[in-house]
Amino acid sequence: MAPEPLTAEEVSGGDPSLGDRLAAWLSVTEGTTVEVRGLEAVSAGARRFNALFDAVTATGTRRLAITMIPSAAIQLLDVRGEADVRTAAEDAGVPVPHVHHVCTHDEVLGGPFFISTAVEGETVPRRVLRLVHERGIGDQVAGELGVAMARLHTVGDDAAPAVLPRPALGGPIESALVGLDELFGVLLTPSPVFALGMRWLERHAPPEPARTTIVHSDIRTGNIIVGPDGLRAVLDWETARVGDPMEDLAWPCGRMWRFREDALTVGGLAGVDVLRDAYVGAGGSWDDDRFRWWRVLGTVRWGIGLAGQARAHLDGSFRSIVMAASGRRVPELEYDTLLLLRPHP
| List of residues 6+ apart from 38 with CB closer than 8 A | 52, 53, 54
Q: Least distance to other proteins from the beta carbon of 176, Å?
A: 17
Query: How far apart are CB 132 and other proteins at their closest, in Å?
Result: 20
Under rule CB under 8 A, residue 10 binds other proteins: no
Residues 6+ apart with CB under 8 A from 342: none
Among 47, 105, 127, 328, binds other proteins (CB under 8 A): 328
* Residues within window 265-284 making contact with other proteins, judged by CB under 8 A: 265
Dihedral through CA 241, CA 114, CA 65, CA 67, nearest 10? 70
- Give the nearest distance from C-beta 35 to other proteins in angstroms: 28
| Closest among 231, 215, 213 to 270, alpha carbons compared | 231
Nearest to 294 by CA among 177, 182, 148, 144: 177
Closest CA to 312 of 304, 88, 338, 193: 304
Which of 52, 178, 196, 312 is close enough to bind other proteins by CB under 8 A? Answer: 196
Alpha carbon distance 238, 334 (integer Å): 27
Q: Does 345 bind other proteins (CB under 8 A)?
A: yes
185 is a site residue for other proteins (CB under 8 A): no
Beta-carbon contacts of 191 under 8 Å, excluding residues fewer than 6 positions away, are: 303, 307, 330, 334
Judged by CB under 8 A, which of 16, 31, 190, 316 binds other proteins?
190
Nearest distance in Å: CB 239, other proteins:
23
Site map (CB under 8 A) of other proteins, residues 223-262, x = contact: --------------------------------x------x
Find the part of the chain contacting other proteins (CB under 8 A) among 149-157, 234-242, 307-315, 332-340. 332-340
Residues 87-146, interacting with other proteins (CB under 8 A)? none
CB of 78 to other proteins, least distance (A): 27
Minimum distance from residue 255 beta carbon to other proteins (Å)? 7
Task: Give the C-alpha distances (Å, rounded to integers) separating 23 from 2, 48, 57, 141, 150.
Answer: 18, 20, 10, 36, 38
Q: How far apart are CA 220 and CA 251, in angstroms?
A: 7
- 191 vs 221, which CB is nearer to other proteins? 191
Smaller CB distance to other proteins: residue 41 or 160? 41
Q: Which residues contact 201 (CB under 8 A, 6 or more apart)?
A: 177, 180, 293, 296, 297, 300
- Looking at the Cβ atoms of 31 and 343, the one nearer to other proteins is 343
Is-contact 287 281, C-beta < 8 A? no
For other proteins, the binding residues (CB under 8 A) are: 189-196, 198-199, 203, 255, 262-263, 265, 321-322, 324-325, 328-332, 334-336, 338-343, 345
